[in-house]
């Protein structure tokens, strides 16, 4: 019986070992498949992450390209828009065709040279900005297709009047300096020019212009309140302003709207007559700088402006602005 039992035991062990061997192979196969599956999943996850990041980068680059393209187009459009401010000047790009150097004009109307040729008239308006009358003046100028130079008082250059100032640039007008205060007691105390006060007010008015029109704005033109011809002893102030590249100019024709009440025109007819007669007091020239005002109380000037424009058109004048 012992040999038989031993044989059975050996057979049983052999079968058990065979089964264990087969199971181990199956287990190894399962483990291999599981590892492969894990690797496949990890690979898929990494691929998705990389693909998502690639798409994000590509989208960002495309967005940047679109932004750059839009910005470039905007800049190009701005450059092509001739109603934009000409850098370093007091007028728009298109205005260069009819802008005249202030020194040349001043010397011509004072009889010191004939730098400006032909029949050219410069319509100038002092003491703005007035939120009511200034736009009315601009509407008439636009209707007649002519342009003017506006001499603004610095304290009127405020954000509230900013749109009017910008409109003057885009509609082809020129902008000039007429002091900050227009206060004779500050500028000419005891009828003596206060050089420091005058130059300071010119600087502050320029700063006010730049605050609205931008750092590229610059006007070289200054008109003394009351006019240069009204005061003695301005030579030092003239030189100080010239060092800042600022030149003064008066006029040689006026509509009389700021004259004493005893002689101030009260109708359009009398204003036209006054303007016509005023020219005889200045050196003979075909270059005219006309003094008018666009501030409160000057409604008659606005009313008469169409006749003033036609007066010069009928005589063959072209209309210029000062730079």
What is residue 39's predicted lDDT score, i.e. its pLDDT? 60
Averaged pLDDT, 27-37: 58
Q: With a cut of 50, say whether residue 78 has pLDDT above it.
A: no
Question: What count of Cα atoms within 13 Å lies in the side-chain half-sphere of residue 35?
Answer: 6
pLDDT tens digit string along 226-247? 999 999 999 999 999 999 999 9
What is residue 2's predicted lDDT score, i.e. its pLDDT? 44
Q: 123 forms bridges with which residues in the sheet?
A: 148, 290
Q: What is the pTM of this model?
A: 0.77
Q: What is the mean pLDDT of the chain?
A: 86
In the chain, % helix, strand, coil (3-state, to 5) comes to 60, 15, 30
Alpha carbon distance 170, 284 (integer Å): 34
Alpha carbon distance 240, 196 (integer Å): 9
Alpha carbon distance 231, 189 (integer Å): 11
Q: What percent of the chain has pLDDT over 70?
A: 75
Q: With a cut of 90, say whether residue 91 has pLDDT above it.
A: yes
C-beta separation of 259 from 294 below 8 A: no
What is residue 269's predicted lDDT score, i.e. its pLDDT? 98
pLDDT tens digit string along 172-231? 999 999 999 999 999 999 999 999 999 999 999 999 999 999 999 999 999 999 999 999
What is residue 82's predicted lDDT score, i.e. its pLDDT? 82
What is residue 92's predicted lDDT score, i.e. its pLDDT? 96
What is residue 70's predicted lDDT score, i.e. its pLDDT? 44
Q: With a cut of 90, say whether residue 69 has pLDDT above it.
A: no
Instruction: Name which of 243, 248, 301, 295 is nearest 271 in CA terms.
Output: 301
The region of weakest confidence among 60-69, 88-97, 128-137, 165-174 is 60-69
Q: With a cut of 70, say whether residue 303 has pLDDT above it.
A: yes
pLDDT tens digit string along 132-168? 999 999 999 999 999 999 999 999 999 999 999 999 9
């Amino acid at each position: 019986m012992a040999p038989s039992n031993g044989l059975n035991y050996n057979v049983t062990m052999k079968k058990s070992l065979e089964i264990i061997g087969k199971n181990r192979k199956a287990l190894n196969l399962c483990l291999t498949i599981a590892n492969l599956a894990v690797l496949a999943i990890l690979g898929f996850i990494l691929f998705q992450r990389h693909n998502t990041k690639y798409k994000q980068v590509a989208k960002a680059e495309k967005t940047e390209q679109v932004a750059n393209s839009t910005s470039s187009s905007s800049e190009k459009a701005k450059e092509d828009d001739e109603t934009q401010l000409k850098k370093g000047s007091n007028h728009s790009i298109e205005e260069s065709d009819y802008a005249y150097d202030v020194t040349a004009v001043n010397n011509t109307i004072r009889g010191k040279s004939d730098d400006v040729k032909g029949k050219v008239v410069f319509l100038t308006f002092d003491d703005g900005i007035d939120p009511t009358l200034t736009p009315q003046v601009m509407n008439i100028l636009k209707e007649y297709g002519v342009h003017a130079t506006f001499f603004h008082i610095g304290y009127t250059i405020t954000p509230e009047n900013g749109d009017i100032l910008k409109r003057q640039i885009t509609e082809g007008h020129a902008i000039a300096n007429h002091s900050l205060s227009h206060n004779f007691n500050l500028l000419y105390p005891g009828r003596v020019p206060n050089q420091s006060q005058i130059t300071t007010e010119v600087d502050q008015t320029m700063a006010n212009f730049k605050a609205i029109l931008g750092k590229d704005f610059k006007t070289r033109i200054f008109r003394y309140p009351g006019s240069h011809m009204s005061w003695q002893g301005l030579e030092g102030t003239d030189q100080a302003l010239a060092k800042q590249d600022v030149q003064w100019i008066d006029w040689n024709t006026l509509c009389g709207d700021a004259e004493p009440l005893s002689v101030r025109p009260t109708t359009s007819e009398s204003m036209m007559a006054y303007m016509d007669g005023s020219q005889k007091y200045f050196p003979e020239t075909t270059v005219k700088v006309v003094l008018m005002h666009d501030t409160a109380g000057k409604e008659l000037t606005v009313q008469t402006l169409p006749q003033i424009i036609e007066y010069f058109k009928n005589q063959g004048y072209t209309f210029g602005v000062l730079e």
